Amino acid sequence: MTTAAWLGRPRRLRSAFAAERLAVSVLFFCNGALFATWVSRIPAIQTRHALSHAALGLALLVMALGAVIAMPAAGMLIGRFRSAPVCKVAATLYCLMLPCLALAPGHVTLVLALLCFGAAHGALDVSMNAEAVDVETRYRRPIMSSFHALFSLGGLTGAAAGVALTRLSLAPLTHFLLAALLLGAAAMVIFPKLASHPLHLTPAAQPDPRTKPAGRRTAFPWPSRGLLALGVVALCSMVGEGAMADWSALFLRDVRHTSESFAAAGYAAFSVAMAASRFGGDWLTATLGAVRLVRWGGLTATAGTLVALLLPGAETALIGFACVGLGLATIVPAVFSAAGRLPGVAPGTALATVTTLGYFGFIAAPPLIGLVAELIGLRGALGSIVLTSAGIALLAPALATPAPANRET
């Protein structure tokens, strides 16, 4: 949408849309900050419970299971109650479960806490992206990357706070309580501004009148080839994101032999680069086109992973992690935008399918990396990011979808 067209709308409507965009932006920021808070203290939790890489990997697998179960459930709840109520409940549970990760006295309670934490995380991811798609539809121009930039900025903030508070020897429980209180309060302030209306269909996504009604429709029908390709790109990208989140600190501590406080800087370097790239993501998409942007992003992430794993030095590893962040930053926003423009598929259906596939990679890859690390070492296990990043570059043509059209809301 041009500036003139935006200003041509009634002031009351512009204010409502701007408030909704701000609310969704805050939600993305809080989500990123809460997750990074957990990530920054994984080494401390591992040490407290004396977990091996394999045991930690299995615990993270339970977290992944909670998210995978919650995602389709969240999709069905969104269809019935809209995305705003689901966002509110998921965000509240997310904040409540964070301190429980530090309160868990034993392995069983830690696993149960991770299951619930993962479920809240998965439900919030699906519902907040549904809100973001709604806002982007109303603005009639690409703004998805800006939301994901704020998720990365939240991750950076949470990781930086983790570095500082670890150096101050603050207990994980106190750290988690502070984060949950501050970010939970911020989320509650913006809850009333979240949309309470359904998504609008694009003309291309209207049902085909020649299609016979099929009785009860499934929430996640089998995806078309184009939608499946987009989902695989998202999955490959988020394998890298999940690996950086859960294993970058442990790689620095255990392979590069750094201090715990320095190790927390690994995810911070990744988050800084990702946030910087995402803030320019909408402009880069318009300049390079989605296909070229995704191809170069995959190649950059591949090179960054090789630098971090093969070249000596902890500082060199930080540079490599930053390159991974630069490369992966705009992949998922570009995929979400492309999925919403697929002909013949409702945006909500496409988004749910791509989100589920993508976040499956984010939450399932880290525990699998832990299991592989027990067999061949953490350096070798993280080499899987090289394969997935190269796969992104190869599948980049899947982003060649029709250009967005103006849509009335």
Q: 15: buried, middle or exposed (CB in 10 Å: 19+, 13-18, 0-12)?
A: exposed
Burial of 279: CB neighbours in 10 Å, binned 0-12, 13-18, 19+: middle
Is residue 216 in some structural domain?
no
CA-CA distance, 32 to 38, in Å (whole number)?
10
Residue 12 lies in a domain: no
Closest CA to 119 of 147, 89, 99, 148: 89
Instruction: Say how many domains are in the chain.
Output: 1
CATH code, 278: 1.20.1250.20
- pTM here is 0.77
Please, are residues 97 and 37 in contact by the beta-carbon 8 Å criterion? no
- Interacting residues of 387 by C-beta distance below 8 A, sequence separation 6+: none
Predicted local distance difference test score (pLDDT) of residue 8: 55
Q: Which residues contact 155 (CB under 8 A, 6 or more apart)?
A: 32, 33, 35, 36, 245, 267, 271, 274, 275
4 is a domain residue: no
Domain that holds residue 236: 17-199+223-399
Q: Which residues of 185-214 are buried (b: 16+ CB within 10 A; e: fewer)?
A: ebbeebbebbbeeebebbebbeeeeeeeee
User: What token pair was written down for 313?
Assistant: 């030095």
Question: Among residues of the chain, what percentage have pLDDT more than 70?
Answer: 86
Say if 55 falls within a structural domain. yes
Q: What is the pLDDT of residue 94?
A: 96
Whole-number pLDDT of residue 10: 59
Contacts of 378 (CB under 8 A, 6+ apart): 53, 247, 250, 251, 254, 255, 369
In a domain, 210, yes or no: no
Asked whether residue 248 is domain-assigned, the answer is: yes
Question: Residues in the chain with pLDDT < 50?
Answer: 2, 197-219, 404-409
Q: What is the pLDDT of residue 100?
A: 94
Would you state the pLDDT for residue 354? 86
Residue 174 lies in a domain: yes
CA distance 400 to 168: 49
Does 343 reside within a domain?
yes
pLDDT of residue 126: 82
pLDDT attached to residue 301: 95
DSSP 3-state of 323: helix
Six-digit token string for 320: 């490599």
